[in-house]
Structure 1
Amino acid sequence: MNLESVQDDSPNYVTLTSSINHLHHLLNHYQSKLNDAVKEAENQSIIEKSNIHNYEFDRKKLKPKMLNFKNGASIQVQQRLIKIKSQIDFINMSFNTTKATQRSYIKKFLTEKIGKKHFITEEHNPSSTINSDSVASYKFNIRIHDVNNKKCIYKIINALKKNYGAFNFKITCIELAHDFYNAPPEFLTALFKSIQFDSDVQNIRVFRLRGENQSVPYEPIRLKNLLLEGFNIGVNDYRKDDVYYHFYFKKTDHNKRPLPYEEWRLRAEVRLSNLDHALEDLRNLVKLGFKKLTFTQLTGTATLEQRQLYSLYTRPYGQKLTSPILKNGHYRDFKRFICTNKNLNERLRESVKNLSNKF
């Protein structure tokens, strides 16, 4: 057993005359070295899995990936195809009624008619009242969750038209999501590092409960641990910005009820607010909105230093430059070592097409 000596005056091998204490010293030293090697391998695995270029999205090219370590060793990892599903998480619609009424009446009516509670708000008109202690309105806003197809929307709309003479339906907000199944937790970091942001995005943070906001950590292992603890990544402010991004582990439905384990997934969301789109434009709005969930990757010509930077530090590398650089007659939107991720974006376009065809 040739091991590095624990003590300067002790041999790094065992003989028939070696003491039990010497044997224990060597075993403890070997265990310590082994633990350090395992920890280094785990950390390196987290780093590698946090890079979007270590995933294959072309079904025809799916094959084992090689993970390379600092000491020159490498291991082969069998990849599974990540399942992608795109969906409308919710839409907000405004509408008018022919007669003034109260929000609570509409909510009660829809609950009885549709069998599902809906979040409804009103825009008050002080001159229109039903009685002295309640205010009625002619204009309301409704949020519809889990919009799977056109039929589920028009079921609600037709009920409102029939009972309240509702008209002038407008989409004012939409939240779109890509769900990723069969993906490791580190893939969420890879998505954040590679998503294409506009140059003016701000307030990039991780958050959990109210007041638990902090900067996105540089180290992939720290970000992974925070995400596993229930933290989310947020970009911009959904209360005032037109575009809001959200990355997290999806383990509950919109009512915070736990989902079955087999329905857990990683999610990348974008919310578009302050809209004014006719309902008939929903299909085009879906296609337009999902263009905000486009991803990048390292260029094939990235230097070793650029690759190390990309791997070791968690940053929004897909954020566009404030002033695009003109080169060879063409504008370059990203840093020199970043380009669009053709294979992933193609898979996402297929998923979005399957969704938009339902509308």
Structure 2
Amino acid sequence: MNYSIFRFEAVVDFIEVRIHTTTRNQGWKIKGALALHGISYVEPVQPDAAGWSSHFRIKLYDLRTHAALQSKLASIESECPFASPPVVTMIEVAFDGYLKDPAAPTNHNHLAALAARMAYQLAAPVSPNSRIYRDGKGGPTALPRTLEAIERKMVEGWNVGFGDKTADQYQHGYLKTTDHNKKPIPVEIHRARFEIRLAGAALPDQDIDSWKSFKFESLAPYISFRKADPTADQMQQAIIAGYADRASHRKAIPRKDSSNTRAHIMPADTELNQIVKRQLQHLTRRWSYVRKSAKISTKK
């Protein structure tokens, strides 16, 4: 694939925090108050029969920096004071590919091809439980056995998932055409997306401050890919297309034994993996960035 036609970026899709408030509240009241700050996802933790709780899970989207996370938390505390410091309970990091020329007539075909390739050639699925689904419209069902079939599904709005959505690790690939509220986004920012979501025991840290210096490039193994060797003969290519359970097979591929046929016909996609690592490094720098205040001159 010609990756030069794409512009890539790694972003924090969302961070979920758990807050402990000084007084008990009903979830809908907290949600209503936080809607004024652009926050739409609020869920009470272990509420009573009437929906009252003093613990809430809140998802914060569109955070470009750690400072933005702190600003959102300050807004939340202004509405519902904290009894103890909030903690991170989940994070989702996304790797996006945009077309450099979004006006191209084959826009969705190119993006779907990239999204399908990332899902189909994932190097290390977090689970052999792989499936393709379309929220509210179809599935889940087994992954198609060819790249071309997955591309067609991507254009139609299907998603590929690895693992259970409620598990500590979940990978997700799709063609992104809506925001987190399921509202359509402009065509020029449609993109091929691959996500890794971490929670529970898989979460690197729960401490808010510790995330300021987090090295996002450490997540690269979750977003790494293989490719079919273009020199492989037709029989070898047929082997690739014929894996009934691609996720469990790929996880078993030896990484260092180049004499192994499977490793030979699906070597690492070095070019794309290097792009992923660079973009995660850019995310690390951007995330920890703090705007310096302008110095006030004391000269007269």
The one-letter amino acid paired with 1:178 is F
Maintained 8 Å contact 1:194/1:318: no
What is the deviation of 1:302? 5.3
Q: Relative to 1, partners in 2 of residues 1:165 and 1:219: Cα closer, same or farther, differing over 3 Å?
A: closer
Maintained 8 Å contact 1:195/1:295: yes
The residue that corresponds to 1:98 in the other structure is 22
Secondary structure of the equivalent of 1:291? Answer: helix
Q: Relative to 1, partners in 2 of residues 1:297 and 1:203: Cα closer, same or farther, differing over 3 Å?
A: same
The residue that corresponds to 1:68 in the other structure is none
Secondary structure of the equivalent of 2:222? Answer: coil
Q: Distance in 2 between matches of 1:91 and 1:191?
A: 23
Maintained 8 Å contact 2:94/2:196: yes
The residue that corresponds to 1:223 in the other structure is 150
Maintained 8 Å contact 1:171/1:279: yes
Maintained 8 Å contact 1:245/1:269: yes
1:54-78 deviation per Cα after TM superposition (whole angstroms, max 9, x unaligned)? 43x5xxxxxxxxxxxxxxxxxxxxx
2:177 is the counterpart of 1:260: no
Q: Relative to 1, partners in 2 of residues 1:138 and 1:195: Cα closer, same or farther, differing over 3 Å?
A: same
Within 5 Å, give how 1:144-183 maps onto structure 2.
Answer: 144-166=60-82, 167-182=84-99, 183=110
What is the deviation of 1:254? 0.9
Q: Distance in 2 between matches of 1:223 and 1:191?
A: 11
Q: Distance in 1 between matches of 2:13 and 2:275?
A: 20
The one-letter amino acid paired with 1:243 is Q
Within 5 Å, give how 1:169-248 maps onto structure 2.
Answer: 169-182=86-99, 183-198=110-125, 201-210=127-136, 212-239=139-166, 241-248=167-174
Q: Relative to 1, partners in 2 of residues 1:181 and 1:96: Cα closer, same or farther, differing over 3 Å?
A: same
Q: Distance in 1 between matches of 2:251 and 2:128?
A: 13
Q: Distance in 2 between matches of 1:345 and 1:149?
A: 24
Q: Distance in 1 between matches of 2:127 and 2:80?
A: 41
Q: Distance in 2 between matches of 1:286 and 1:169?
A: 21
RMSD of the TM alignment (CA)?
A: 3.1
The residue that corresponds to 2:214 in the other structure is 284
Q: Relative to 1, partners in 2 of residues 1:135 and 1:195: Cα closer, same or farther, differing over 3 Å?
A: closer
The residue that corresponds to 1:271 in the other structure is 197
Maintained 8 Å contact 1:194/1:296: yes
Q: Relative to 1, partners in 2 of residues 1:249 and 1:136: Cα closer, same or farther, differing over 3 Å?
A: same
Maintained 8 Å contact 1:107/1:120: yes
The one-letter amino acid paired with 1:225 is R
How much identity, in percent, do the aligned residues show?
A: 22
Q: Distance in 1 between matches of 2:267 and 2:94?
A: 23
Q: Distance in 2 between matches of 1:284 and 1:209?
A: 32
Structure 2: gaps (5+ residues): 100-109, 289-300
Q: Which has the higher contact order (CA 8 A, sep 6+)?
A: 2
2:252 is the counterpart of 1:321: yes
What is the deviation of 1:326? 7.8
Maintained 8 Å contact 1:86/1:355: yes
What is the deviation of 1:185? 2.5
1:165-216 deviation per Cα after TM superposition (whole angstroms, max 9, x unaligned)? 3232211111111111124422222212321224x61221111144522222
Maintained 8 Å contact 1:90/1:145: yes
The residue that corresponds to 2:284 in the other structure is 356
The alignment's TM-score, normalised by the length of structure 2, stands at: 0.76
Q: Distance in 2 between matches of 1:174 and 1:292?
A: 13
Secondary structure of the equivalent of 1:335? Answer: helix
Secondary structure of the equivalent of 1:185? Answer: helix
Structure 1: gaps (5+ residues): 1-53, 58-79, 127-132
The residue that corresponds to 2:35 in the other structure is 111
Q: Distance in 2 between matches of 1:258 and 1:217?
A: 27
Larger Rg: 1
What is the deviation of 1:162? 4.3
2:72 is the counterpart of 1:143: no
The residue that corresponds to 2:42 in the other structure is 120
The alignment's TM-score, normalised by the length of structure 1, stands at: 0.65
The residue that corresponds to 2:8 in the other structure is 84
